[in-house]
């Protein structure tokens, strides 16, 4: 097997309480594994609700924080033990786009500034003309023209334009991977499609992989190849996006997909369903499956130990739920027959 582009191995991140709450700790991410292949380029979704650890994962990969244990390997090299030169190269090849396209610009500079900075820092061009050509090429990729936007100030651009500029800036560096943290949650529906379409084009034409971090399963379903669904810091279910969304196995993922409003007034929610009370939604358990208090199928063994990822099919579909512990399930049904 060829070496993957990016590999997260058994990563755990624990935040410890500050001086106000000494001794308290919060497991933001637990024993997380992820592989992004070198080829072909893929879009991988990391989905989950707030507090599930998806942004912690992005921050770990981007090197903003260090894991409590575990490793992040880029082409086999641990990003924590990279030399300065390797680090610079990593910073070029792994780019990021963030949620809020309003907050990333310095309002005092013309938008051209964000391009000038990257070109200077990474010494991408020898002359002004070469720099301009690079910028124009990047802007063309996102369907914009330099003369329209470069001399403007950030407040003169719409949210969609700003977010496309951020994609163009990332693309300028010819990265191999772009970590996109909720890139479309703040832009309107019509522009959302445009940004997702740019992601697809960069994947297919430029061989750039994406880590698409989102809470929105419907957009993930539209564009992603693989999906990892997190629940309170652990993977609940992962696999091929179409498989997982069409045929969810983990009770949490089933609840999640069932809760997405269907854009069809003829398919109304079954309002007679009693939803779990919000305390149940928020309660936590220290041992075993984190979903135990909310789970309609919970069993005693769920409290003993966190379930590992069980195989659902021969492909990549896996779910962390004892319901899919095959030998045991057979043994149980056998026991009932007696």
> Does residue number 271 form part of the binding site for other proteins (CB under 8 A)?
yes
**DSSP letter assigned to residue 127:** S
What does residue 137 show for φ and ψ, rounded to 5 degrees? -60, -45
From residue 229 to residue 248, the character string flagging contacts with other proteins as x (rule: CB under 8 A) and all else as - is -------------x--x---
Q: Which of 36, 139, 196, 289 binds other proteins (CB under 8 A)?
A: 196
Binds other proteins (CB under 8 A): choice among 73, 124, 257, 285 = 257
Q: Out of 151, 188, 311, 313, which residue is the one contacting other proteins (CB under 8 A)? A: 188
N- to C-terminal Cα distance for the chain? 46
Work out which of 189, 286, 327, 335 binds other proteins, going by CB under 8 A: 189
For position 222 contacting other proteins by CB under 8 A, the verdict is yes
28, HSE (Cβ side, Cα atoms, 13 Å): 20
How many Cβ atoms are within 10 Å of 100's Cβ, its own excluded? 14
Distance CA 324, CA 311 (A): 8
The piece of 102-110, 164-172, 186-194, 313-321 that touches other proteins (CB under 8 A) is 186-194
Among 2, 50, 126, 314, binds other proteins (CB under 8 A): 50
Residue 143 binds to other proteins (criterion: CB under 8 A) = yes
What is the DSSP annotation of 252-288? HHHHHHHHSPPS-TTS---TTSPPPPHHHHH---SSS
Would you count residue 265 as binding other proteins (CB under 8 A)?
A: yes
CA distance 135 to 146: 7
Residues touching other proteins: how many (CB under 8 A)? 44
Site residues (CB under 8 A) for other proteins, limited to 282-311: 282
Helix/strand/coil for 237: strand
| Residue 286: CB minimum distance to other proteins, A | 20
Work out the number of other CB atoms within 10 angstroms of the CB of residue 101: 24
| Cα 194–chain centre separation | 19
Instruction: Give the footprint of other proteins on this chain (CB under 8 A).
Output: 49-50, 143, 158-159, 188-190, 192-194, 196-197, 200, 215-219, 221-223, 242, 245, 255-257, 259-266, 268-269, 271, 275, 277-279, 281-282
């Amino acid at each position: 097997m060829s070496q993957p582009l990016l590999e997260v191995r058994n990563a755990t991140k624990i935040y410890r309480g500050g001086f106000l709450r000494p001794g308290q700790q919060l497991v933001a991410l637990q024993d997380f594994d992820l592989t992004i292949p070198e080829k072909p380029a893929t879009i991988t979704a990391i989905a989950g609700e707030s507090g599930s650890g998806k942004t912690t994962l992005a921050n770990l990969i981007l090197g903003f924080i260090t894991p409590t244990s575990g490793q992040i390997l880029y082409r086999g090299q641990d990003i924590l033990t990279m030399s300065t030169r390797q680090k610079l190269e990593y910073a070029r090849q792994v780019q990021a786009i963030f949620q809020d396209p309003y907050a990333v610009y310095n309002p005092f500079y013309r938008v051209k500034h964000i391009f000038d900075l990257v070109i200077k820092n990474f010494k991408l061009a020898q002359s002004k003309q070469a720099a301009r050509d690079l910028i124009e090429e990047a802007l063309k990729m996102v369907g914009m023209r330099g003369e329209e936007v470069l001399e403007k100030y950030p407040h003169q651009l719409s949210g969609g334009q700003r977010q496309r500029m951020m994609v163009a800036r990332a693309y300028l560096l010819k990265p191999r991977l772009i970590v996109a943290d909720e890139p479309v949650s703040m832009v309107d529906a019509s522009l959302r499609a445009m940004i997702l379409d740019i992601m697809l084009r960069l994947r297919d034409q430029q061989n750039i992989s994406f880590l698409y971090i989102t809470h929105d399963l419907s957009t993930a379903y539209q564009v992603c190849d693989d999906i990892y669904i997190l629940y309170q810091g652990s993977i609940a279910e992962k696999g091929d996006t179409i498989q997982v969304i069409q045929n969810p196995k983990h009770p949490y993922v089933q609840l999640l997909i069932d809760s997405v409003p269907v854009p069809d007034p003829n398919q109304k929610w079954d309002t007679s369903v009693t939803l779990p009370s919000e305390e149940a939604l928020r309660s936590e358990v220290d041992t075993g499956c984190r979903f135990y208090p909310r789970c309609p199928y919970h069993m005693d063994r769920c409290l003993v130990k966190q379930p590992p990822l069980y195989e659902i099919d021969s492909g990549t579909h896996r779910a962390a739920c004892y319901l899919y512990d095959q030998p045991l399930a057979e043994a149980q049904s056998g026991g009932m027959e007696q």
